[in-house]
Structure 1
């Protein structure tokens, strides 16, 4: 199996106090962590790419731990999450799909077994491309107040032979959410949906 070669890791945290309405007493924290890694499959078609998922697992756990630490909260305070990948132009979309399991299971593990599927997106793009990573509630995907996205990207990444793997987390609902739907207080938490 190829070794994961990391060129850089970037972590970002934002604190949102308001979106034009009343100022929140506690700001919403939204964070992302992106690792820019060499794509071992760039430049050629390889049939069996699944072994690389195993190699990505330790990176996923390390990234989830790093992001949780950057947000400065306990795992129980994380209410939203998501994941994504950007594949450089020498690769293919399927290479980005290799992040689904390592990224999702890493966050579930670090956060203590969240129930909801970790939403995901991926794309192929040149250096500087941006990606909107979807966010949903960690225990119930239908909690509308937590539907969100976090835009990520770097001016020099990914290069053609790289891919960027991304995790995002939030500490709560959108500031001033008032679009209705299932409330976080009403979660049953049995099926990951409600």
Structure 2
């Protein structure tokens, strides 16, 4: 059982898709891309994952490091990293990228997804949740990047799609928009 560290430290709740994914994915080496202050990282760490947590915001990384130090957690490594670089240097059993892609440079998103896929171990998982902007539901928030209908599922052709939907959802700030949600498993080689 996990202690609610997010409430303790004033963080947003763990993303519901991360909670759901962890019902299927056992502890392994994981990467939390765009970890911010660590709302998902801390949850994964408590479940026994060895988590590399990356974000381009030094203040967020420092806050996460302070929480890790205070809690005595040794299985989380926060690092300052610009995800736009698409230059991961380690392979993971689980890569979590929830509500992150929409803040990236649109010209780099395909490279970032390819980098995630190539650094996922055979049999490993990618979880992506990203805002969409469609004719039916134009995105009300001016994100640098949004997905089109079917775009994310096309990126994962050849992988086992565990979950995929393009449903309306609410961001933690209350904004309602359409999200593409994908949990996919890389084929075992």
TM superposition score normalised by structure 2:
0.32
For the pair shown, which has the larger CA radius of gyration, 1 or 2? Answer: 1
> Which of structures 1 and 2 has the larger relative contact order (alpha carbons within 8 angstroms, sep 6+)?
1
- Whichever structure has more helix as a proportion of its residues is 2
What is the TM-score with the length of structure 1 in the denominator?
Answer: 0.32
